[in-house]
Amino acid sequence: MAAAEPAVPALPGSGGGGAAAPSGTVPVLFCFSVFARPSSVPHGAGYELLIQKFLSLYGDQIDMHRKFVVQLFAEEWGQYVDLPKGFAVSERCKVRLVPLQIQLTTLGNLTPSSTVFFCCDMQERFRPAIKYFGDIISVGQRLLQGARILGIPVIVTEQYPKGLGSTVQEIDLTGVKLVLPKTKFSMVLPEVEAALAEIPGVRSVVLFGVETHVCIQQTALELVGRGIEVHIVADATSSRSMMDRMFALEELFLNHLIFHGSYSGCFLG
């Protein structure tokens, strides 16, 4: 299931009912299909917590291959409206999960002719800071070996290499298509977009590197926004904090923006 969080203006007083104490919980009526189940969430709960609550209440009835939108009942309009961007629960309200008519594209097998590998910021200065850095280097080595064997283009970025150093020596960059410095989080630089445009029929990107909750996440979001399937290699990406890594992968998975799994054996075909 994926749920969209549309950028619409905030609605004053849209929740209706009485206000809850800031330190307590707020009653919320969660509606899905013909069902309506009362529950509660912490004061200030946002989009992600609402999605998690819907999954806990209706998980066995939700078609995970559909795309959904969360809507809020607005008293001033007398009907449901798309959940405002940045919405936080502050008073009693009613929300519903609405399936859209379009189906999500399911991710199939990767094929070398339509795939590009993205190696993100695997640099020497990150070695002592990133959890399990040696392990993700090892998986990254195998990924690049597989890319060379299968003729898959590889794009590599380095975050501010003057200060953070080059890609670690263990990662063999022989034959890669591009090695680019960057000073922004996302790998989707103008040079990268130009390189992708030169490769006919690109459909998928296999993405790995650091850090999961920053550069990996931002790169995935930008690529998906351009209509490219993104496969994050879970055992070849990490962060300074395992909590940051876990929440980044969980958030992306729950929103169905990307899917993640292990490609450590470079299973393509």
What are 51-108's pLDDT values in tens digits?
889 989 988 887 766 677 889 998 888 888 888 878 899 999 999 998 775 444 555 6
Percent of the chain with pLDDT over 90: 52
For residue 250, the model assigns a pLDDT of: 74
Nearest-angstrom CA–CA distance, 132 and 146: 22
Ranges 29-38, 207-216, 253-262: which has the least confidence: 253-262
For residue 224, the model assigns a pLDDT of: 80
Nearest-angstrom CA–CA distance, 229 and 226: 9
DSSP 189-250: -HHHHHHHHHSTT--EEEEEEE-IIIIIHHHHHHHHHTT-EEEEEEEEEE-SSHHHHHHHHH
Nearest-angstrom CA–CA distance, 257 and 5: 12
Catalytic residue positions, numbered: 121, 182, 215
Q: Is residue 228 predicted with pLDDT exceeding 90?
A: no
Angle at 60 between CA 87 and CA 84, to 5 degrees: 10
**Could you give the 3-state DSSP secondary structure of residue 252?**
helix
